[in-house]
Amino acid sequence: MKILHVVGARPNFMKIAPVMREMSRHPESFEQILVHTGQHYDEIMSDVFFEELELPRPELNLGVGSGSHSWQTAEVMLRFEPVVIKHHPDWVVVVGDVNSTLACTLVCSKIGVRVAHVEAGLRSFDRNMPEEINRLLTDQIADLLFTPSQDGDQNLLREGVAREKIHLVGNVMIDTLVRLMPKAKARWPSLQEDLGLGRFLLVTLHRHFNVDEPDALLEILDALSEISEEMTILFPVHPRTRQRIREFGIETNKKDLHLLDPFGYLDFLALQIHADLVLTDSGGIQEETTYLGVPCLTARPNTERPITIKLGTNRLVDTTRKALVDAFHDKLAEGRESRNVPPLWDGHAAERIISIFKELNRDSFLT
């Protein structure tokens, strides 16, 4: 089977890595090509992950870069179409919910190339999120849907997706976490020393509703300033958030509120493992903290990963200054809850995906 994998933005790399790794253990069955759309292009948002996750260099980088959502989606489509036509793969594998995911799926659906979507079925039910639109549309037109949790299956069935397309395989992001945990742990002593860390709150924020409006961003940074009087805060700042802080002329001059560049995968995982608390608006970090049993506050009105609340350590929090400060105190007082890992978040999701592809291959020979 000729498989063309697509990655575009930071959260894609840790999802495709275990799938490619597992397929490369079966060279008799799979020929693989990796294409990077170039949605993320900085060393710290992209290159470092290839090295740390041991991903092969992409055969091709489409070099799309940043722009409005429509521009970015359209540009990926224009540049991706000739690549699929040239390689004519049996399957295109897309992951997650970024603009590149939808753009490449759309291209394939128009020219009759089959698409498998890894991390299908997640829904926030909030259509103001560009990622929700990407998820809904990708899942409607993809041919094979690999879900990380049971709620994903239920969402897809409710949307009329045929049952035979849906496969509950577990969470590929956790495959990467499980594999690289020892390496991340080994980095902790030097990281701890370099950053002079004791107890700390780890923060990431990049969603448009938190960072694109001056008042919203200011309110969150005010809360962080207040919290930093009690606990050191490490805030690796996404390029989008960095731009906004600069644009809005916001000053942050608290001694223990550290605005840093984004970390690579291993250092960030080491920081999550040792954080007293995490505050985020990312999807993947809600899952990683649940797996690790680290308390997490999610600065969003909803989540497409309800299992992290139901079973895990996650709690949604309003983004007013008072709500954030109160939630910080409450969550810290609760301490570490008992660790509850969702079913099939066991480090073997990619193996299950590969078995399904192999079955499909066998069936296509039989018919």
Residue 206 bears catalytic tag? yes
Backbone angles phi, psi at 117, to 5 degrees: -110, 120
Should residue 214 be labelled a site residue for ligand UD1 when binding is judged by CB under 6 A? no
CB of 166 to ligand UD1, least distance (A): 22
CB of 47 to ligand UD1, least distance (A): 9
Should residue 50 be labelled a site residue for ligand UD1 when binding is judged by CB under 6 A? no
CB of 120 to ligand UD1, least distance (A): 15
Q: Which contacts (CB < 8 Å, 24+ apart) does range 317-320 have?
A: 317/279, 319/210, 319/216, 319/219, 319/220, 319/223, 320/219, 320/223
Q: Which of 206, 238, 258, 274 is catalytic?
A: 206
CB of 8 to ligand UD1, least distance (A): 7
Give the number of other Cβ atoms within 10 Å of residue 182's Cβ.
8
Number of shown-chain residues binding ligand UD1 (CB under 6 A): 21
Should residue 42 be labelled a site residue for ligand UD1 when binding is judged by CB under 6 A? yes
Should residue 130 be labelled a site residue for ligand UD1 when binding is judged by CB under 6 A? yes
Residues 187-206 that bind ligand UD1 (CB under 6 A): 206
Q: 113 or 211, CB closer to ligand UD1?
A: 211
Residues 4-33 that bind ligand UD1 (CB under 6 A): 9-11
Q: Which of 239, 276, 325, 360 binds ligand UD1 (CB under 6 A)?
A: 239
Applying CB under 6 A, which part among 36-44, 174-182, 293-301, 304-312 lies near ligand UD1?
Answer: 36-44
Q: Which of 19, 20, 23, 39 binds ligand UD1 (CB under 6 A)?
A: 39
Residues 93-122 that bind ligand UD1 (CB under 6 A): 97-99
Should residue 41 be labelled a site residue for ligand UD1 when binding is judged by CB under 6 A? yes
CB of 295 to ligand UD1, least distance (A): 21
Q: 216 or 227, CB closer to ligand UD1?
A: 216
- Separation of alpha carbons 227 and 341, rounded Å: 29
Q: Which of 1, 33, 45, 231 binds ligand UD1 (CB under 6 A)?
A: 45
Should residue 40 be labelled a site residue for ligand UD1 when binding is judged by CB under 6 A? yes
CB of 185 to ligand UD1, least distance (A): 24
Q: Which residues are catalytic?
A: 206
Interaction site with ligand UD1 (CB under 6 A): 9-11, 39-42, 45-46, 66, 97-99, 130-131, 206, 238-240, 243, 282
